Amino acid sequence: MRVVVAGPGAIGSLFSALLAEGGLEVVLLDRDAARAARRSSSDLILRDAKGERRLRLAVTADGASLGPADLCIVCVKAHQTADLIERHGPALRRAARVWTVQNGLGPADILLAALETERVLGGATFQGAYFDARGTLVHAAQGTSHIGALADGPPDAAPELAAALTRAGLPTEAAPDIRRVMFEKFVVNVGINALAAILGGENGRLLDNPHALAILRQAVAEAVRFAGEQGVALDEAQEIERVLSVVRRTAHNRNSLLSDLAAGRRTEIDFLNGALAHRADAPVNRLLTGLVRALEHRGPRS
């Protein structure tokens, strides 16, 4: 099975490492040629519960050089989706299936508009990973990924792909209602990412802060109401408990929004809390969005 992973961040690198270790032919697609050259000529250090190990990944920024693939996994940041299609559209179109595990509202719609809809699979992942200050990839939280059809079409490829990915070491489940799963992940991101990033620490910092937990619950409640308005009925109490469960399981993870702020990069806030604030009456999420934008404006943390 040949897999292209688009996006060299923590999740894209983690997926590439796990699947390559599992025996699949994996190429990590970057947009930065110099970075791709550095990474393809040096080892990735991966740290998890089993310790540290070194892996050499195949990395390229030349999408035109890639042949057909069985699957392209889209892991770029939500706001980089359009650029990915512009730079590497032919590579995506040569893949039999394109699976997005991106955060936020909107990336899947961008892919659906640019590609044949029956080839685009929705998804979500509950894996947690980040690069530490040394550049080591830390697999901070084990979790399941989900895959499913977003549009009607030929027989759903999701069950077969989920089985193949699981055999290769990336636990994946086929979801009959992937849109619901994606909303559940959106609620998790809304509840955790911005708040933990504003506090400036690992996700677990939320657990012993009653003020932060109160804000988390309010942010989640707004997201649940919005999901209901979109035809996805979620139970508020269950979703709050789901979010808290993810916080506990990913207590040592530095989420991607925090990592972006620390590095002075643009965050995904406009596709997370900001998307909710733009589409619904969500004052708590509007405030969280404003605070993250203020931190973006400040620049990298010292």
Q: What is the mean pLDDT of residues 203-208?
A: 97
Separation of alpha carbons 264 and 266, rounded Å: 7
Same domain? For 121 and 190 the reply is: no
Is the same domain home to 31 and 148? yes
Please, is 20 exposed, middle or buried when counting C-beta atoms within 10 Å of its C-beta (0-12, 13-18, 19+)?
buried
CATH code: domain of residue 293: 1.10.1040.10
> How much of the chain exceeds pLDDT 70, in percent?
98
Residues 196 and 147 in one domain: no
Claim to verify: residue 144 and residue 270 sit in the same structural domain:
no
pLDDT at 70 over 60: yes
Nearest by Cα to 89 from 151, 27, 31, 150: 31
Please, is 58 exposed, middle or buried when counting C-beta atoms within 10 Å of its C-beta (0-12, 13-18, 19+)?
middle
* Nearest residue to 260 via CA among 139, 131, 138, 136: 131
Q: Which residues are catalytic?
A: 185
Token pair for residue 60?
């390229």
The pLDDT of 27-51, averaged and rounded, is: 96
Reported as a single tens digit per residue, the pLDDT across 91-142 is 999 999 999 999 999 999 999 999 988 999 999 999 999 999 999 999 999 9
Q: Would you say residue 154 has pLDDT above 90?
A: no
Tokens in use for 166?
Answer: 């699981």
Q: Which of 145-159, 202-216, 265-279 is predicted least confidently?
A: 145-159
For position 121, what pLDDT does the model report? 97
Say if residue 159 is in the same domain as residue 202: no
What CA–CA distance (Å, rounded) separates 114 from 120?
Answer: 10
CATH code where residue 70 lies:
3.40.50.720
Residue 252 has pLDDT above 70, yes or no: yes
Q: Which of 159, 176, 193 is the last residue before a domain boundary?
A: 176
Residues 167 and 185 in one domain: no
The domain in which residue 244 lies consists of 181-298
Distance of CA 277 to the CA centre of its chain: 20
**Are both 192 and 153 inside the same structural domain?**
no
Band (151; pLDDT cuts 50, 70, 90): confident
pLDDT of residue 259: 95
Phi, psi of 99 (to 5 degrees): -115, 115
Task: Provide the residue count of the chain.
Answer: 302
Contact 207, 247 (CB under 8 A): yes
As beta bridge partners, residue 253 has none
The domain boundary residue, chosen from 127, 143, 176: 176
Mean predicted confidence (pLDDT) in 181-188: 98
Q: Flag whether pLDDT at 302 surpasses 90.
A: no
**Order of strands across the sheet with 120-125?**
58-60, 25-29, 2-6, 71-74, 98-100, 120-125, 145-149, 172-174
Last residue of a domain, one of 176, 191, 210: 176
The total number of structural domains that make up the chain? 2
pLDDT > 90 in the chain, percent = 95
What mean pLDDT is predicted for residues 165-193? 98
Residues 223 and 171 in one domain: no
Q: pLDDT band for position 162 (50/70/90)?
A: very high
User: Cβ distance 26 to 5 under 8 Å?
Assistant: yes
Residue 294 phi/psi, 5-degree rounding, is -65, -40
Q: What is the H or E stretch that residue 47 is in?
A: strand 44-48
CA–CA separation, 115 and 94 (whole Å): 11
Same-domain check for residues 110 and 153? yes
Tokens of 239: 């979703």
| pLDDT > 90? residue 207 | yes
**Residue 178: what residue type?**
I
42 and 73 part of one domain: yes
Q: Are strands 128-131 and 71-74 parallel, antiparallel or unpaired?
A: unpaired
Residue showing tokens 């504003």:
198
Give the mean pLDDT of the chain: 96
Do residue 40 and residue 86 come from a single domain? yes
Average pLDDT, integer, range 150-166: 88
Q: Output the pTM of the full model.
A: 0.95
- Same domain assignment for residues 154 and 274: no
Please give the average per-residue pLDDT across 263-280, as a whole number.
97
Residues 269, 285: Cα–Cα separation, whole Å: 10
